[in-house]
Amino acid sequence: MSVRKTRPTMFFLRTIISCILLVKETGAVDQLNKPYLEVLTSYPDDVIVIGGKVRLHCKNRTKAETFYLTKDQNDIGSQNNSEFSIVDLKLSDSGLYSCRYSWNNVFSEPSEHQDIYVHDKYPPPQITVKPRKIVRPGEDITITCATPYSNMQFTFYKNGQSFKVSNDNPFSYFKRNAGEEDVGQYACDFRTKSDSKAQIQSYLSDYITIKVKGLDSPSAWLEKYGGENQTVKIICQAPVTSKMVWFQLLNSSEGIVEEIDGVFENQVTFNIASPDHTQKQYYCVYAMRIGNNLAFSAISKPVFIWGVDYTTVNIIRLLISALVLILLGVILVIHFNIFQKTEESLPELPPARRNQAEQSEYTEMVIMKTEHVMEDNEISSAGDNIEEL
């Protein structure tokens, strides 16, 4: 009976010990978290080219003694630092990279793989054209090539033949008064300059097809009808029929005011609600599709909208009032000067008149004295009469 009891006990103890060892081993592994491999480059869009440099950072969240870098599941280096560097890259450096680390002779799991691809050429440059791919005869055109890489030399191609080289970035080819001789396919590429350590060329850019097409200008006229908002109606008519046409209404100060896309009509109406109170010029153009691009016409003759600028009117009123006040002041000054000159210019009385006047004054004085004496005599006579009574 004792033997039977001992065997289950030993089995139970062995099971417990095994579990303890398993938990201990699992806990040790869990303490070394799975790292993450970060690829660090100085290249635009992380495009790595031959002759360059790349840094690989094995990021972890626990203590580590040694870091290991693997390529295509083969160890290629170990060090105490978590950041690895690969310089003077070659095509053979392309591959799948991962890393791991150790602590107290315990190794972490390897990181997820990072694909590093070393290019033997730069990505193609970006090529653009202004104002558009289809221009009118005599219109200026600008083709621009650009890349985020520095210290490069550009080459322009027309119909597969190089015709322009420049060290500028971006590099623009400007053509004034485009004509039939400028029709063709344009592209560009770039390469490291001759003084660079590695001579690397880029892929060729996309081709841009330049066409020259003249479209007659449309007709435009103005119709204005009353209403609360004084809406203005501008009619634009293109000299084409039975084709899809795009219309644009342009303003002399604001550019495109309104667009009407893809209509099978050669005449459209643009409505301008409540135009502001300033004089403006409006134009219209139309476009037709040629291949995958639009060809634009010349602009129409201007259509004028005459508005009332109340600020200007008020200023004019103030100026007129000021002029009126100035004129009144001038008139008063002139009148005062004339009156003063008139008084100064009056002649003196002749001697005869002067004597006559003096005599008349003397006669008046004598008469006044005589009247005074007569009054005194009358008073005396009245007094004598009273005494006699």
Which CATH number fits the domain that encloses residue 240?
Answer: 2.60.40.10
Does residue 234 form part of some domain? yes
Closest CA to 49 of 92, 97, 90: 90
Does residue 277 form part of some domain? yes
pLDDT of residue 359: 52
Token code pair at residue 222: 């103005």
Residue 131 pLDDT > 50: yes
Token code pair at residue 74: 């083969």
Token code pair at residue 367: 């008469």
Sheet of 83-86: strands edge to edge?
A: 36-40, 54-59, 83-86
Cα distances (angstroms) measured from residue 285 to each of 138, 175, 270:
17, 23, 12
Sheet of 141-146: strands edge to edge?
A: 126-130, 141-146, 171-175
Domain count for the chain, please give it: 4
Of 72, 89, 119, the last residue of a domain is: 119
Regarding whether 265 and 203 lie in a shared domain, the answer is no
Structure confidence at residue 376 as a pLDDT band (50, 70, 90): low
Regarding whether 154 and 106 lie in a shared domain, the answer is no
pLDDT of residue 318: 81
Does residue 299 form part of some domain? yes
Does residue 281 form part of some domain? yes
Rounded CA Rg of the chain: 54
Residue located via tokens 């880029």: 202
pLDDT of residue 176: 94
Question: Residue 177: which domain range?
Answer: 126-212
Does residue 388 form part of some domain? no
Q: Collapsing DSSP states into helix, strand and coil, what is residue 172? A: strand
Q: Which residues contact 248 (CB under 8 A, 6 or more apart)?
A: 256, 258, 259, 260, 284, 285, 286, 287
Does residue 246 form part of some domain? yes
Residue 155 pLDDT > 50: yes
Does residue 194 form part of some domain? yes
Regarding whether 314 and 262 lie in a shared domain, the answer is no
Regarding whether 173 and 250 lie in a shared domain, the answer is no
Of 119, 136, 157, the last residue of a domain is: 119
Residue 7 pLDDT > 60: no
Q: Return the percentage of the chain with pLDDT > 90, whole number.
A: 52
Regarding whether 133 and 200 lie in a shared domain, the answer is yes
Regarding whether 194 and 140 lie in a shared domain, the answer is yes
Does residue 379 form part of some domain? no
> Distance (Å, rounded) from C-alpha 206 to C-alpha 187?
6
Average pLDDT of the chain to the nearest whole number? 81
Of 305, 328, 363, the last residue of a domain is: 305
